[in-house]
Amino acid sequence: MSQSHVNVWENCLAVIKDNISAQAFKTWFAPIKPVKLENDVLTIQVPSQFFYEWLEEHYVHLLKRTIRKELGEDAQLEYSIIMENAPAGHNGMASASPYTVKMPASNRQSTRNPNVSMPIPAVETQIKNPFVIPGLRKLNIESNLIPNLNFDNLIEGECNRLARSAGLAVANKPGGTAFNPLLIYGGTGLGKTHLAHAIGLEIKERNPESTVLYVGSEKFTHQFIDAVRNNSVNDFSHFYQMIDVLIIDDVQFFSGKEKTQDVFFHIFNHLHQTGKQIILTSDKPPVEMQGMEQRLLSRFKWGLSADLQVPSLETRMAILEKMMYANGIELPREVVEYLAYSITTNIRELQGALISLIAHSSFNKKAITLELAKQMIDKFVKNTAREVSIDYIQKVVCDYFDLPIELLKSKTRKREIVQARQIAMYFSKKMTKSSLANIGLHCGGKDHATVLHACRTVNNLQETDKHFRKYLDDLEKKLAIH
């Protein structure tokens, strides 16, 4: 039993819908009406000449594939185009004599004479978008930016001030500053990706017409491999050369991939020469990147390389307070301080610990206490052998003796200050892996001999003074991580 034109077109639409965005389907395929099916030739009606030209330019391959899947390799498509300026029929349209164009499997160039049959070219003229099949217009390219990774949610501190300021300058004038490329580098979890997204979002906010694209280096590499496999490297390169602001995350993963580096080199050159902005992130500066071509490394150095450093205690506190405010929660001050003092090198880990702490408290209906926080930190900070930081030890000792931490780090020789300082040094040596010199540095620039003397003094006093021994027992309980 032969299929009807309606059924064939509905089957085609089901395939098309899975291959394009919902908005593109609604705009370009929902208005089409199937007219007839004769001898494996499907006729569809489109609203205008412009509509036909758009389908021909952007979706010809998709249409051909789907029609042939339904009707076989000899299938053809015929358009019935409503003439906007023709004499109107009873419904106000040129339905009396619509003109048609046919699509056989041919590579002949089409004409624009509405009175003759014209084959639609088999070669798709639109550059393919490696993120979406089939290709989209430049203005429809998805940026892949995450909305909440914006500047409002990026706490400023000494650790990121240079990179953040450079990012804002780039966002204000993409491609028009000396910061091109802008290379943001730093260790894991310090906010490189957040800052890159924030710059892209700010550019889109200020210049909605700009084409901003964020892509991870691994994704870029996989797209390039697919392009090589499909013999479409030119389309791949041309697509990336259309971008106004290109953000490549973790560019260090290009290391050792010679062909990927080569294609990126040419894309980089084109974008830079045409005044487009390039933003890169890496876990190390260009001078330390191994397995990278020198010509590429030299271009990475053309602009600004801005590093993200480990956040200070004040910045870590501010990050936690910002998260608490955003989530509408309050935590005991001692808990927030403990988190900030304990997780010192990784913002992502700090945020994860807070989220886990809140979740654990909610699921188990337990109040968020310092004890609960210590249990959570034990699970999060496995790589530090459960050691507390020198800063946290000093903070606990100062709180216990009700002393300002500035006095502990000062040169004063008052007996109670000296005793608190010696106790802090003692616990720092006992509970951390820090060297004596590093402990002394944290305690007001004392040398290693002073720290060693302090530890001996504390050991002697706890054997002879029961009040002093109680101080140590109390403090050890406060510092202990169970």
Mean pLDDT in residue range 267-277: 92
Among 95-99, 230-234, 443-447, the minimum mean pLDDT is found in 95-99
Distant-in-sequence, close-in-space partners of 15: CB < 8 Å, separation ≥ 6: 65, 66, 69
Alpha-carbon span 67 to 11, nearest angstrom: 9
Mean pLDDT in residue range 24-37: 85
To 10 degrees, the CA torsion angle through 213, 158, 335, 458? Answer: 140
CATH superfamily membership of 390-479: DnaA protein, C-terminal DNA-binding domain (1.10.1750.10)
Q: What is the pLDDT of residue 221?
A: 93
Mean pLDDT in residue range 296-306: 89
pLDDT, tens only, 385-431: 445 778 888 888 988 888 888 888 888 888 889 999 999 999 888 88
239 vs 366, residue with greater confidence? 239
Q: Is the predicted pLDDT of residue 339 greater than 90, yes or no?
A: no
131 vs 446, residue with greater confidence? 446
Q: What is the pLDDT of residue 105?
A: 30
Q: What is the pLDDT of residue 363?
A: 72
Q: What is the pLDDT of residue 385?
A: 42
316 vs 95, residue with greater confidence? 316
Mean pLDDT in residue range 272-286: 92
In the chain, count H helices and then E strands.
20, 9
Q: Is the predicted pLDDT of residue 75 greater than 50, yes or no?
A: yes
pLDDT, tens only, 156-182: 888 888 899 999 999 999 998 889 999
Tallying the residues shown for the chain, one arrives at 482
Alpha-carbon span 339 to 85, nearest angstrom: 72
CB atoms within 10 A of CB 161: 13
Contact of 159 with 310, CB cutoff 8 Å: yes
374 vs 151, residue with greater confidence? 151
Q: What is the pLDDT of residue 109?
A: 35
Q: What is the pLDDT of residue 185?
A: 92
Contact of 389 with 344, CB cutoff 8 Å: yes
Mean pLDDT in residue range 72-87: 70
Yes or no: domain 313-384 corresponds to CATH 1.10.8.60: yes
Mean pLDDT in residue range 29-33: 87
Closest to 302 in 3D by CA, of 169, 178, 192, 165: 178
Mean pLDDT in residue range 259-265: 93
Domain boundary assignment for the chain = 5-126, 151-308, 313-384, 390-479
CATH code that applies to domain 5-126: 3.30.300.180
Q: What is the pLDDT of residue 378?
A: 66
Among 37-41, 281-285, 346-350, 435-439, the minimum mean pLDDT is found in 346-350
Mean pLDDT in residue range 307-328: 80
Q: What is the pLDDT of residue 145?
A: 92
| Banded pLDDT at 127 (limits 50, 70, 90) | low
| Banded pLDDT at 50 (limits 50, 70, 90) | low
Q: Is the predicted pLDDT of residue 384 greater than 80, yes or no?
A: no
The topology under which CATH files domain 151-308 is Rossmann fold (3.40.50)
Q: What is the pLDDT of residue 129?
A: 62
| Mean of the per-residue pLDDT values of the chain | 79
Contact of 320 with 354, CB cutoff 8 Å: yes
Distant-in-sequence, close-in-space partners of 446: CB < 8 Å, separation ≥ 6: 425, 440
Contact of 137 with 98, CB cutoff 8 Å: no
DSSP letters spanning 277-292: EEEEEESS-GGG--S-
Q: Which two tokens stand for residue 445?
A: 């620039």
Among 201-210, 356-365, 461-470, the minimum mean pLDDT is found in 356-365
Q: What is the pLDDT of residue 130?
A: 63
